Amino acid sequence: MLVAVRFLVRLSAIALVFVASAQAVSAAETRVRARYDLTLAGFNIGTASMQAGIQDQSYDLNVSARMTGLARFLTGGRGAATARGAVRDATVAPAAYAINTRSGEKGQVIRFALAAGAIRSMLVEPPARTEGIVPVSDSDKRGVLDPVSALMMPVAGAGDPLASSSCNRTLPVFDGRQRFDVTLRYDRTETVKGASSAPGQYEGQAIVCKASYKAISGHRPGRKQVAFMESNKDMEVWLAPVAGTRALLPWKISVRTEVGVAVIAASSFVVVRPGDKDKKVGADL
């Protein structure tokens, strides 16, 4: 149980660690405010939230997560991350990323700046281990996405953003310590509905993408967890459309672990479009 909880804290930090700080809001910006429940093997172990601002050519994402109940007692796990950048030709071009996580008495801070998809400056505390680790080369730091920017998936063209082709992509992720690929492929379409009744709450279809993981560098060869993730056939990402934009954001992420399935699922997914009267979504967001 403890290993699995720590795994989910790491998963939250790498792939979905949700909302930290308030941002200045543009009148032309579409905003998303979402809340997620974290479960492991069917047990509630935490909550997460996300705030996103999306304009025609730019985005910012703020995400945070915290463990609750027994999981909080065992790990003290919590984290917050932020990313911003540009959207060009239906692709994400991140400019800055920062994350601060804590598990028990241990914490980490990672910050880096990017230009043209390449890491230009970086701070990692504590420093990444190098002994027995596949070195992260300079080429591994080019053409990459940070873990938070990888959550936003713009769609090309003017067709239905929920077309099956919107799933099919490979995300080249660098988290400051490890470089890995997450490959998505279309599996099916589901109907989703949040528990919230707030104005702007999304109800409708989400495309479900099967996901696969491939370690590139920064990992320890032969490590059991790496082999498990690379052979894992039970990983899914559910993507919901953001009204008024050509972007998709996660509604749900499901990953099989060695002790059960870890799930991050939206209980609320509210979209506020330009021109809408600002809506109060709830004190817990």
**Where do we find the tokens 């990323």?**
97
* Residue 277 domain flag: no
Q: Which of 242, 179, 171 is nearest to 216 (CA)?
A: 179
Query: In this structure, are strands 153-154 and 169-174 parallel, antiparallel, or unpaired?
Result: unpaired
How far is C-alpha 76 from the geometric centre of its chain's CA atoms? 20
Pairwise CA distance, residues 156 & 246, whole Å: 7
Per-residue pLDDT tens listing for the chain (285 residues): 333 444 444 444 444 333 333 334 444 789 999 999 999 888 888 899 999 999 988 999 999 988 775 454 444 477 899 999 999 878 899 999 999 987 666 788 999 999 988 999 999 999 988 899 999 999 999 999 999 999 999 998 888 999 999 999 999 999 999 999 999 999 999 999 987 777 789 999 999 999 999 999 999 998 898 999 999 999 999 999 999 899 999 999 999 988 889 999 999 999 998 877 554 433 333
pTM of the predicted structure, to 2 decimals: 0.85
Query: What is the domain range of residue 177?
Result: 2-22+29-272
* Residue 126 domain flag: yes
Q: What is the DSSP string of 230-266?
A: HH---EEEEEEE-TTSSEEEEEEEEEEETTEEEEEEE
* Residue 282 domain flag: no
Structure tokens belonging to residue 282: 């709830």
* Residue 284 domain flag: no
* Residue 167 domain flag: yes
CB 150 within 8 A of CB 136: no
Q: How many domains does one find in the chain? A: 1
* Residue 156 domain flag: yes
* Residue 71 domain flag: yes
Q: What is the DSSP string of 105-163?
A: TEEEEEEEEEETTEEEEEEEESPPP-TTS----SGGGSS-B-TTGGG-EE--SSS-TTS
* Residue 280 domain flag: no
